[in-house]
C-alpha cells in the first residue's frame, strides 16, 4: 500500500541472517573496518553531536540521551567503507545495552536516498553479545557507511560496542522459514458441522493414510489423503485431507499423516465471535486525535496523537502542500491508515464502508448476528448506538472534514490525504511525531469515496442521529456533483514523500460505486440512470485477485444486489453476484490449499490477505442471496488459509493460532524494535505474501520466492507484513459472517410466510398491513415478528400487535387474543409509519421468533 520508510533498497541478491555464526570463506580476506577493536582510541569512528564517544575501556561506549524521536537522531558510524558488487560480506560485532534496547545496524549509501545494503535490528542486553550477518553488495562503492542508529528512546541508556568486523569472501546464507509440521490446518479450528480440510506437504505421489486424534491422543477418524500434485502457488508437492464427516466438538485435535502431526485446533460452533470483536476492536487503537485508554485496551494505552501538543504539530489546523490551497482545515480524528501516521480518504472510504456494511447486512441476512451497544468496549459504549457504528463514525467525521469548503477552488471535492511532510522512522508513537502535517491535493477518487461512504452512512445512521445522517447526505451529493465537474483529477504517483501515493487513474469504478450508494439511499432517477448506464453495471467485475481500494465496482454491485431497492433488472444483478461467487468457489475447489485467489502467474499482490478476505465477502453475499450452504462452506474454507492452512503454516492474524503473525509493520505496535511497546492487538491481519517484495528485509531474505513464500513476519517488511484498516475491515466482515453460521448446521426451512402490503403512502408517512402465515406443521404459541427498515422510517402506531422499535429494527409481538397461530392459519396486523427521507422499500427479511420467514 505504501512505502513508509525513509529509504528505498536497490535490488539485493544476497540474504540476511540473524544467526551468531555467519560462515566465511577459508581464506582470510582483508578487514574493511578500521579500528573495530578500539585498542587505540576510537578514530575514525564518529558520533552525532548529542553523544560523547568513550573508548578508554577498550570498547566504544556512549550514553544515549532520552527524548529523541527517530532512530537516526543518534548515530555512531564509520565512513569510506569499500564494497565490491557481487561480493558477499560477513559483518559482525559485539554489543551491550543498559537497559535492554533494540538498535539498527546498517551498511548503507552515505547520502540520500541512504540505500541500505544491510539492515538488522539486534536486541542488545546488559551482557555483551555477538551478532553476525551476511549480505551481498549489489553495487561497487568506495564510500559505504557503517552506522548504528540508536535514537528514538524516551529515556536515556548506555551502549557499548566492540570487535566490529566486515570482511568479504563469505558464503551467502539462505533464509529458510520455519514452516513447522508438514500437515497444515486452520490453527483456530473448524465449525463442528462445517467443512474440514487440511493440506499435507509430502514427496509421496500415492495416497497416504491419515488419522484425526483427540486431545487424549485417541484416533477418532481416519482415511486416505488425496494427491494433488505440485501446487504452483508454493512449489510444493501436496495432498489434501477432507475430514468433514467427523462432527464432535472438542479442543486440542490434531491430524497425523506421513509421520507428521499438525498443530492443534478445535471443533466448535463459537470459533469466530471473538475474532469478529477483536478485528473490530483494532480500529479503536488506530484512532487519531483521542487518548487511547489503557482501561479499555490494556497494554495499548497512549496519549492522543496529532492534537497539537508539543512536539506534535497536530491535525486541527493543517495547511496544504505549497501551491495546493490557501487555507487550513481541521482534519483531526479518523483512523491512522496503517503502520504510519498518514490518513487517506481512498483507503479510509472502503474501510469505513465495509464496517457499516457489516452492520447493515443484518437487515437482509438471516444468519447475521446483532451488533449491540457495549460490544466493543469503546469510550462511546452506553450511548444507545451500536458500537460498530460509533467506531465507524470516528472515521466518517474525518472524511467529512476532508471536503474542500464552499467558496474555495474545487469546492466539494475531497483532499486525497493528509500526512507528514517527511517519512518518520520506527518506532514512533503518534503523539511524539514532530513533523509538519500537510493536506495533499483533492482527487476525483477521494471525492467519490467520500460520496459513497457518506451516502451509505446517511441511510444507516438515520434512525440514530437524523442530523448526522442529513450532513452525510448533503456531503455525498455535493461530492458527487463535484466529481462530475472534475472527473479526471488524479493523485500524483510521485507524491509519496512521507506517505503512500494511492494513485489511481481509472475512477469509472468509483463513479459506479458512488452512484449506486446515492441511488439506494435517495431513490433519485439521476443516480439510478448513472448506475444503469455505466458499462460496469453489466461487466464482469469479479477479478480473481479480489476487489480493493483501487478496484471498487464490486462494492457497488454487492450493495445493489443486497440492499432493498426498486432498481430495474435487480434480479440480474443478484444473479451476477452468484456467478462471481461460483468462480471463487471453483478456485477453492481447484486449489490444493483451498484459496479463492488466483493471481496471474501466482504473483501475489501487496495485501493479498485482504484480497482473499474480500473474495470471501462475495461468497458470503451469494449465500445471503441463495441460501445455498455451498457458499457458506466456501467462506469457511477460505478462512482456513488465513488461519494457518497455507504454505508457511502460519496464521496471518495476530493472537489466533499456535504460530501467528505478530510483528506487523507499525510505528507504535513495535515490540520487535522496543520491548516496552506491544505487538499489534489480537485480531490484526497481516498483509500476507507479496511477490514484489519492495522492502529491504523482504529483498534480503525472500529474493526468488514463489507465491505463498513471499512473506516474512518482520516489522521492517512493510511490503509483506504491514497492517492496515482496509485489511482488517474485510477480516471483521468475514468473521462476523462465520460467527453467524453457528456450528455449521444448515439453516432450517422457513415455517412462516409474511405478506407486507403498503396500502397508502404520502410525503410524511405510510400505512402498512402485515399478514403472518404458519406454514409449519405445529402451532405457534406466542410470537414476535422482526424486520428492519432501510433508513429512518419508524412505526408511529400499530394495531393488533405490541410494537417496539430500536434503531431501524421493529419488533411486533402478539397480543393475548392472537397468541396462537395454528398450522395453515394466519394473523394480520397493521401500523402507521413515518417515511423520513429517501425511498421506503419493503423490508428484505422477516424473522418469526428468530427464524427466517419466506
Helix axes 725-739, 273-285, angle to 10 degrees: 160
Query: How far apart (Å, rounded) are the C-alpha atoms in residues 305 and 296?
Result: 17
Instruction: Centre a 10 Å sphere on the Cβ of residue 210 and count the other Cβ atoms it contains.
Output: 23
Query: How far apart (Å, rounded) are the C-alpha atoms in residues 254 and 222?
Result: 12
**Residue of 173, 217, 164, 191 whose CA lies nearest to 55:** 164
Annotated catalytic residue 171: no
Query: How far apart (Å, rounded) are the C-alpha atoms in residues 623 and 627?
Result: 5
DSSP assignment string, 142-165: EEEEEEEE----SS-EEEEEEEEE
Annotated catalytic residue 59: no
Annotated catalytic residue 559: no
Collapse the DSSP code of 639 into the 3-class scheme (helix H, G, I; strand E, B; otherwise coil) and give the result: helix
Query: How far apart (Å, rounded) are the C-alpha atoms in residues 4 and 695?
Result: 10
Cell output for 499: 506517505
The counts of H helices and E strands in the chain are 13, 39
Burial (CB < 10 A; 0-12, 13-18, 19+), residue 244, is middle
Q: Is the dihedral of CA 116, 117, 121, 126 positive or negative?
A: negative
Q: Is the dihedral of CA 18, 723, 696, 432 positive or negative?
A: negative
Of the candidates 340, 391, 605, 624, the residue annotated as catalytic is 340
What residues contact residue 80 under an 8 Å CB cut-off, 6+ apart? 44, 142, 143, 144
Query: How far apart (Å, rounded) are the C-alpha atoms in residues 719 and 224?
Result: 39
Instruction: Please provide the size of the chain in residues.
Output: 854
DSSP assignment letter at 662: -
Of the candidates 510, 665, 714, 716, the residue annotated as catalytic is 665
Q: Is the dihedral of CA 412, 416, 417, 421 positive or negative?
A: negative
Burial (CB < 10 A; 0-12, 13-18, 19+), residue 203, is exposed
Classify residue 654 as left (phi > 0), alpha (psi -120 to 50) or beta.
beta
Of the candidates 162, 173, 231, 713, the residue annotated as catalytic is 713
What residues contact residue 65 under an 8 Å CB cut-off, 6+ apart? 50, 51, 74, 156
69-95 b/e with 16+ CB inside 10 Å = b? bbbbbbbbbbeebebeeebbbbbbbbb
What residues contact residue 246 under an 8 Å CB cut-off, 6+ apart? 196, 212, 220, 221, 267
**Cβ contact 742:750 at 8 Å:** no
Helix axes 608-626, 553-562, angle to 10 degrees: 20
Cell output for 382: 452506553
Query: How far apart (Å, rounded) are the C-alpha atoms in residues 88 and 359?
Result: 55
Place of cell 486431545: 215
Cell output for 372: 449491540
DSSP assignment string, 164-225: EEEES-PPPPPP------SEE--SSEEETTS--EEEEE-S--S--EEEEE-TTS-EEEEEE-
Annotated catalytic residue 759: no
Of the candidates 278, 387, 640, 722, the residue annotated as catalytic is 722
Report cis status (omega within 30 of 0) of the bond before 311: yes
Cα 341 to chain centroid, rounded: 16
Burial (CB < 10 A; 0-12, 13-18, 19+), residue 620, is buried
Report the side by side order of strands in the sheet with 129-136: 60-64, 157-167, 88-98, 129-136
Catalytic residue numbers read 340, 665, 713, 722
Amino acid at each position: 500500500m505504501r512505502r513508509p520508510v525513509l529509504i528505498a533498497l536497490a535490488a539485493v541478491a544476497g540474504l540476511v541472517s540473524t544467526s551468531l555464526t555467519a560462515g566465511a570463506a577459508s581464506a582470510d580476506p582483508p578487514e574493511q573496518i578500521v579500528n573495530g577493536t578500539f585498542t587505540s582510541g576510537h578514530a575514525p569512528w564518529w558520533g552525532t553531536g548529542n553523544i560523547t564517544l568513550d573508548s578508554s575501556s577498550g570498547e566504544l561506549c556512549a550514553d544515549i540521551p532520552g527524548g529523541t524521536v527517530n532512530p537516526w537522531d543518534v548515530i555512531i558510524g564509520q565512513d569510506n567503507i569499500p564494497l565490491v558488487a557481487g561480493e558477499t560480506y560477513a559483518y559482525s560485532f559485539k554489543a551491550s545495552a543498559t537497559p535492554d534496547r533494540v538498535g539498527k545496524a546498517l551498511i548503507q549509501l552515505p547520502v540520500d536516498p541512504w540505500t541500505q545494503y544491510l539492515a538488522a535490528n539486534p536486541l542488545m542486553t546488559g551482557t555483551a553479545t555477538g551478532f553476525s550477518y551476511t549480505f551481498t553488495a549489489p553495487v561497487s562503492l568506495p564510500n559505504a557507511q557503517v552506522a548504528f542508529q540508536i535514537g528514538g528512546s524516551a529515556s536515556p541508556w548506555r551502549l557499548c560496542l566492540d570487535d566490529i568486523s566486515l570482511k568479504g569472501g563469505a558464503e551467502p546464507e539462505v533464509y529458510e522459514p520455519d514452516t513447522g509440521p508438514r500437515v497444515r490446518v486452520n490453527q483456530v479450528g473448524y465449525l463442528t458441522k462445517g467443512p474440514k480440510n487440511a493440506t499435507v506437504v509430502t514427496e509421496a505421489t500415492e495416497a497416504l493414510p491419515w488419522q484425526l486424534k483427540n486431545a487424549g491422543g485417541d484416533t477418532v477418524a481416519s482415511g486416505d489423503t488425496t494427491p494433488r500434485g505440485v501446487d504452483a502457488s508454493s512449489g510444493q508437492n501436496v495432498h489434501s485431507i477432507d475430514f468433514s464427516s467427523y462432527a464432535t466438538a472438542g479442543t486440542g485435535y490434531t491430524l497425523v499423516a506421513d509421520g507428521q502431526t499438525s498443530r492443534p485446533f478445535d471443533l466448535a460452533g463459537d470459533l469466530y465471535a471473538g475474532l469478529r470483536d477483536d478485528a473490530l476492536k483494532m480500529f479503536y487503537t488506530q484512532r487519531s486525535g483521542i487518548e487511547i485508554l489503557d482501561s479499555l485496551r490494556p497494554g495499548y494505552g497512549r496519549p492522543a496523537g496529532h492534537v497539537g501538543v508539543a512536539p506534535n504539530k497536530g491535525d486541527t489546523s493543517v495547511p496544504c502542500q505549497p501551491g495546493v490551497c490557501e487555507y487550513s482545515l481541521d482534519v483531526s480524528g479518523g483512523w491512522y491508515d496503517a503502520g504510519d501516521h498518514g490518513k487517506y480518504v481512498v483507503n479510509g472510504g472502503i474501510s469505513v464502508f465495509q464496517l457499516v456494511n457489516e452492520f447493515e447486512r443484518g437487515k437482509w441476512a438471516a444468519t447475521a448476528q446483532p451488533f449491540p451497544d457495549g460490544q466493543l468496549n469503546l469510550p462511546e459504549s452506553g450511548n444507545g448506538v451500536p458500537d460498530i457504528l460509533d467506531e465507524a463514525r470516528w472515521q466518517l467525521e474525518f472524511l467529512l472534514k476532508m471536503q474542500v469548503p464552499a467558496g474555495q477552488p474545487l469546492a466539494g471535492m475531497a483532499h486525497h490525504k493528509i500526512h507528514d511532510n517527511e517519512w518518520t522512522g520506527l518506532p514512533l508513537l503518534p503523539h511524539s511525531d514532530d513533523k509538519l502535517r500537510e493536506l495533499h491535493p483533492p482527487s476525483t477518487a477521494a471525492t467519490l469515496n467520500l460520496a459513497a461512504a457518506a451516502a451509505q452512512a446517511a441511510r444507516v445512521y438515520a434512525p440514530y442521529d437524523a442530523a448526522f445522517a442529513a450532513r452525510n447526505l448533503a456531503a455525498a451529493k455535493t461530492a458527487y456533483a463535484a466529481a462530475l465537474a472534475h472527473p479526471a483529477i488524479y493523485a500524483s504517483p510521485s507524491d509519496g514523500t512521507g506517505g503512500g501515493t494511492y494513485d489511481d487513474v481509472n475512477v469509472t469504478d468509483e463513479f459506479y460505486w458512488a452512484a449506486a450508494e446515492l441511488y439506494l439511499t435517495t431513490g433519485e432517477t439521476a443516480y439510478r440512470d448513472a448506475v444503469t448506464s455505466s458499462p460496469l453495471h453489466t461487466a464482469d467485475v469479479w477479478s480473481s485477485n479480489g476487489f480493493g481500494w483501487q478496484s471498487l465496482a464490486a462494492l457497488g454491485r454487492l450493495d445493489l444486489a443486497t440492499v432493498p431497492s426498486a432498481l430495474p433488472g435487480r434480479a440480474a444483478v443478484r444473479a451476477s453476484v452468484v456467478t462471481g461467487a461460483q468462480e471463487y468457489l471453483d478456485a477453492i475447489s481447484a486449489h490444493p490449499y483451498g484459496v479463492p485467489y488466483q493471481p496471474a502467474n501466482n504473483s501475489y499482490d501487496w495485501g493479498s490477505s485482504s484480497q482473499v478476505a474480500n473474495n470471501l465477502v462475495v461468497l458470503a453475499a451469494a449465500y445471503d442471496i441463495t441460501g445455498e450452504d455451498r457458499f457458506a462452506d466456501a467462506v469457511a474454507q477460505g478462512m482456513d488459509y488465513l488461519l494457518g492452512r497455507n504454505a508457511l503454516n502460519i496464521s496471518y492474524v495476530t493472537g489466533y493460532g499456535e504460530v501467528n503473525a505478530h510483528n506487523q509493520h507499525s510505528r507504535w505496535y513495535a515490540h520487535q524494535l522496543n520491548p516496552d511497546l506491544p505487538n499489534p492487538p489480537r485480531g490484526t491481519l497481516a498483509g500476507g505474501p507479496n511477490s514484489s517484495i519492495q522492502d529491504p528485509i523482504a529483498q534480503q531474505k525472500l529474493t526468488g520466492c514463489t507465491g505463498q513464500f513471499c512473506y516474512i513476519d518482520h516489522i521492517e517488511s512493510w511490503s509483506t507484513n504491514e497492517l492496515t484498516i482496509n485489511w482488517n475491515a474485510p477480516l471483521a466482515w468475514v468473521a462476523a459472517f462465520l460467527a453467524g453460521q453457528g456450528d455449521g448446521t444448515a439453516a432450517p426451512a422457513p415455517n412462516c410466510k409474511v405478506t407486507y402490503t403498503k396500502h397508502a403512502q404520502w410525503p410524511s408517512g405510510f400505512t402498512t398491513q402485515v399478514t403472518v402465515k404458519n406454514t409449519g406443521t405445529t402451532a405457534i404459541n406466542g410470537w414476535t415478528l422482526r424486520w428492519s427498515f432501510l433508513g429512518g422510517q419508524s412505526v408511529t402506531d400499530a394495531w393488533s400487535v405490541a410494537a417496539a422499535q430500536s434503531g431501524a429494527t421493529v419488533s411486533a409481538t402478539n397480543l393475548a387474543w392472537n397468541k396462537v397461530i395454528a398450522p395453515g392459519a394466519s394473523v394480520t396486523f397493521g401500523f402507521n409509519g413515518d417515511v423520513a427521507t429517501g425511498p421506503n422499500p419493503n423490508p428484505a427479511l422477516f424473522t418469526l421468533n428468530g427464524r427466517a420467514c419466506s
